Amino acid sequence: MKLLVVEDDQTTREYIAKGFTEHGWTVDVADNGRDGLFLASGENYDIIVLDRMLPQMEGLKVLAALRASENKTPVIILSALDGVDERIKGLKQGGDDYLCKPFSFGELLVRAEILTRRGRVETTESTLTISDLEMDLLSRRVVKNQIEVTLQPREFQLLRFLLEHKDQVISRTMLFESVWDYHFDPGSNIIDVHVAKLRKKLDAAGGASLIQTVRGAGYVLRESA
C-alpha cells in the first residue's frame, strides 16, 4: 500500500508517516500544496492524506486540480476546519473522507483501510463471520454460538459495521457517523450504551465475548486472544 501525506506541520506529518510505515505502508510526504500535487499526479498512490490549510497551494485547490485531471485516488481530507459546512465543501470538492483535527491515528488508519478496500469485490459475500458469530446479510439472521440472536435493525447495522471492519479499532464518532449517519459529537455515552446492549445480547448466547472496548480509542471486534 502506498500513501502520500500532504501536511505542512512537521510533527503531524511525521506522526502519520511513522504510523503508516509501522503498518507496512510505503509513505511519501510533501510539506506544501504544490509539491503534494506534483507527487500525487506523478505517482500511483492508494491513498492521499491531504491537509487543507497548506502553504503555496490550498488543500482544496490541490484536490480540485487532481480531480480535474481525472485522478481518482481516494483522498482523506485532514483538517482543523471542522464545521459541517466545511466537511460538505471538502466532500463536494471530491474528497472521499473528512477527518477533523485533532484525530487519533487509529481512526485515520481505519479510514484509510476502508477506502482502499472500497471498490474491491466484497458485496458478493452474503455472510460475515468471526469466531462463532455468523451474520447472514440476506436473511438478516445472526447466529452466535449456534443460537439465533434477535437484533433490532440498528443493532444489526452496528454489528454489521463492526464485522465488516473486524480487527480494526473503530472510534465512537466513526460508529455514530457510519451507523446512524449523523455528523456531530454526541458527547454523552450514548454509543457506549448501544454497544453495551448489543454486547449483552451476543454474550447471552454464550461463547467468547467478541466486542472489546479499547480504552481511549473505541471498539474492536476480534477473537479474544
Partner 1 sequence: MFSVSRLNPLSRLRASSLLRYTLLHTAIVLLLCGSALWLVKVYSLGFYQQRQDQFVLEQLNSLASLARSSSESEFVSAVRQLAEENRQVLVVFKSSNGYLGNLNYLPETVPLSPAMGSFWILGDSVLGDSRFQKVRGSRINSRWGPLVLAYNSSDFNLFVSRFTLALYTAMVVVLLVGLVTGFLFSRKVLARLRGINRVTAKVGEGQLAARAPVSHRGDEFDELSGHINHMLEQIEDSVEAIASVTSSIAHDLRTPLSRLRIKLDGYLQKGSAGVEDILEAQAELDTVLHTFNAMLELTKLEYGQGNLEFARCDLADIASKVVELAEPLAEVGEQSLMLEVQQALVVQGNHQLLFRILFNLVENAIKYSPEGSEINIRIDQDSVSVIDQGTGIPESEQEKVFQRLYRLDQSRTTPGHGLGLSLVKVVADRHNARISFENGEGFFAVKLTFQR
Q: How many residues does this entry show for the chain?
A: 225
- What one-character-per-residue DSSP string does 113-128 give? HHHHHTTSS-TT--EE
Rg of the Cα atoms in the chain: 19
Question: Any contact of residue 188 with partner 1 (CB under 8 A)?
Answer: yes
> Are 46 and 2 spatial neighbours (Cβ–Cβ below 8 Å)?
yes
CB 153, min distance to partner 1, A: 9
The residue (of 24 and 102) whose beta carbon lies closer to partner 1 is 102
The residue (of 83 and 119) whose beta carbon lies closer to partner 1 is 83
Taken in order 34, 36, 37, 38, is the CA torsion positive or negative? positive
Binding part of the chain for partner 1, among 91-99, 116-124, 156-164, 185-193 by CB under 8 A, reads: 185-193
* Residue 18 grid coordinates: 511513522
Distance CA 120, CA 115 (A): 10
CB 204, min distance to partner 1, A: 15
The residue (of 73 and 171) whose beta carbon lies closer to partner 1 is 171
For the chain, strand residue ranges (E) read 2-6, 26-30, 47-51, 75-79, 97-100, 127-130, 133-136, 141-144, 147-149, 211-214, 218-221
CB 120, min distance to partner 1, A: 31
Give, as ranges, the residues between 135 and 154 that touch partner 1 (CB under 8 A). 154
CB 45, min distance to partner 1, A: 30
CB 21, min distance to partner 1, A: 22
- 24, 42, 68, 84: residue in contact with partner 1 (rule CB under 8 A): 84
Distance CA 40, CA 38 (A): 6
What angle is formed at CA 218 by the lines to CA 121 and CA 133, rounded to 5 degrees?
50
Q: x/- site string to partner 1, residues 151 to 180, per CB under 8 A?
A: ---x-------------------------x
Distance CA 61, CA 188 (A): 36
Question: Any contact of residue 223 with partner 1 (CB under 8 A)?
Answer: no
CB 83, min distance to partner 1, A: 5
- 185, 206, 209, 223: residue in contact with partner 1 (rule CB under 8 A): 185
Using CB under 8 A as the criterion, which residues of the chain lie in contact with partner 1 when the complex forms? 82-86, 88, 102, 154, 180, 182-188, 190, 193-194, 196-197, 215-216
